[in-house]
Copies of this chain bind each other. A is one copy, B any other.
Amino acid sequence: MANKAIKDIPYKIYLSENEIPSSWYNLRADMKTKPAPLLNPGTLKPMTAEELEGVFCKELVKQELDNDTRFVEIPKEIRDFYKMYRPSPVVRAYCLEEALGTPAHIYYKFEGNNTSGSHKLNSAIAQAYYAKKQGLKGVTTETGAGQWGTALSMSCAYLGLDLKVYMVKISYEQKPGRREVMRTYGAEVTPSPSDTTEAGRRILAAFPGTNGSLGCAISEAVEYAVTHEGYRYVLGSVLNQVLLHQSVIGLEAKAALDKYGVKPDIIIGCAGGGSNLGGLIAPFMGEKLRGEADYRIIAVEPASCPSFTRGKYAYDFCDTGYVCPLAKMYTLGSQFMPSPNHAGGLRFHGMSSILSQLYDDGYMEATSVEQTRVFEAAEQFARTEGILPAPESSHAIRVAIDEALKCKETGEAKDILFGLTGTGYFDLSAYKSFNDGTMTDSIPTDADIAASLAKLPKVE
């Protein structure tokens, strides 16, 4: 039985409500090489604000294009909403450290303690707020695993905004839990492809039995927004504006650690589109860019969808339907599909332009991990720390444990911080395949990736 010594640092470091950041931090302001601009898919010229405003809210377009303003004030209404579930704690993983027998100190910023179950709520409420402020009737979006759709439905319910969610058909059928949470929050959830849009009808005609795809759901959500008065489209990751809103994660984490004089040696985050990682590292990376401090920063991606570690830094479409602007990013090609046995999220083929530029400039590392090893870490974490982690977050747990075990060998007491982005309550079919011993790893071949990269658009 555990017999822990009294420690100075509590299990959970909570900030008070008035320590919720009053501004988001815009990492781009400190980047010497700015992220490449979005390109118009027709003209291949940088997207103008006017062009973007047909799809996105005005204020969000401004945030998307603003590479210079360092701090963006968080409106009071958003801060009030944040108070319902923030500040989120930085937790000292005493029990995990003890189970590992490591001299390392492990900390995690836990973003799953809200009904959406993930960090996505931080940007969802911001995007919904600006839509409401612009006088819009509603917003549209797509959702795959459902974290983003859930977060957005909570935000829209709070503000009295209409929400249409296009949910990938197979998720709609296989994840009824998330679907019902969204419906409870008043969202209209449509399985995609549907007959409510041109794009959906086209796909249905060509592939009558299709399970749907994120790319198709994006196309439907964008089409609904641009063809209906008073609607705009919103997106939960990848975009610069999303990383801006998610900086609240890192700002709080840094403020909490600063209270105890802890400077992390290593900062670890899972990376799909980059919203969590970009948010968690923001203020630390800012210090690094300004030469004020150094941190080892590690992006962790699934071996089944390894955009940083095996992709190419190039302009590519963000969607499979070629309707969205082109972004310069580490990408596996917009037609890349992770193997069907890939569990959980982190299945986007590309990566935030901001993180792609930072990675290309050598400010951070990346590594990929197989899903069976990820679930081994998830199980160990659940049993010792009492939180059932999301498969996405468990990628970061895996690497944090690996780094802590290296410390055990070397005897170093490093401070390790990782982002625990969410809970796994809606991922129990993946846990079941792990518990049953039927989970296998799925790593794309070089030929798979080369074939997908061969279809990259030509942009000089």
Residue positions of A touching B, CB distance < 8 A: 1-4, 10-12, 14, 16-17, 77, 80-81, 83-85, 95, 113-115, 117, 129, 132-133, 154, 157-160, 176-177, 180-181, 183-186, 378-379, 382-388, 423, 425-426, 428-429, 431-432, 434-435
Q: Which of A10, A113, A154, A386 has the most chain B CB atoms closer than 10 A to its own CB? A: A386
CA A317 – CA B222 in complex, angstroms? 61
**A386 adjacent to B85 (CB under 8 Å):** yes
| Known A-B contacts A17-B12, A114-B386; A77 and B176 likewise in contact (beta carbons under 8 Å) | no
| Known A-B contacts A2-B77, A428-B177; A386 and B84 likewise in contact (beta carbons under 8 Å) | yes
**B388 adjacent to A1 (CB under 8 Å):** no
Identical subunits present: 2
Chain B residues with CB under 8 A of A177: 177, 425, 428
CA A1 – CA B11 in complex, angstroms? 37
Chain B residues with CB under 8 A of A154: 383, 386
Q: List 5 A-B contacts (CB under 8 A).
A: A1-B77, A10-B17, A157-B382, A184-B434, A185-B383
**A383 adjacent to B1 (CB under 8 Å):** no
Nearest 9 Cβ contacts at the A-B interface: A157-B383, A11-B83, A180-B428, A425-B425, A177-B428, A115-B388, A183-B435, A84-B386, A10-B17
Chain B residues with CB under 8 A of A386: 81, 84-85, 114-115, 154, 158
CA A382 – CA B183 in complex, angstroms? 11
| Known A-B contacts A1-B132, A426-B425, A431-B184; A84 and B95 likewise in contact (beta carbons under 8 Å) | yes
CA A113 – CA B81 in complex, angstroms? 18
Q: Which of A4, A385, A388, A435 has the most chain B CB atoms closer than 10 A to its own CB? A: A388
**B80 adjacent to A385 (CB under 8 Å):** no
Contacting residue for A80 out of B4, B115, B176, B181, CB 8 A: B4
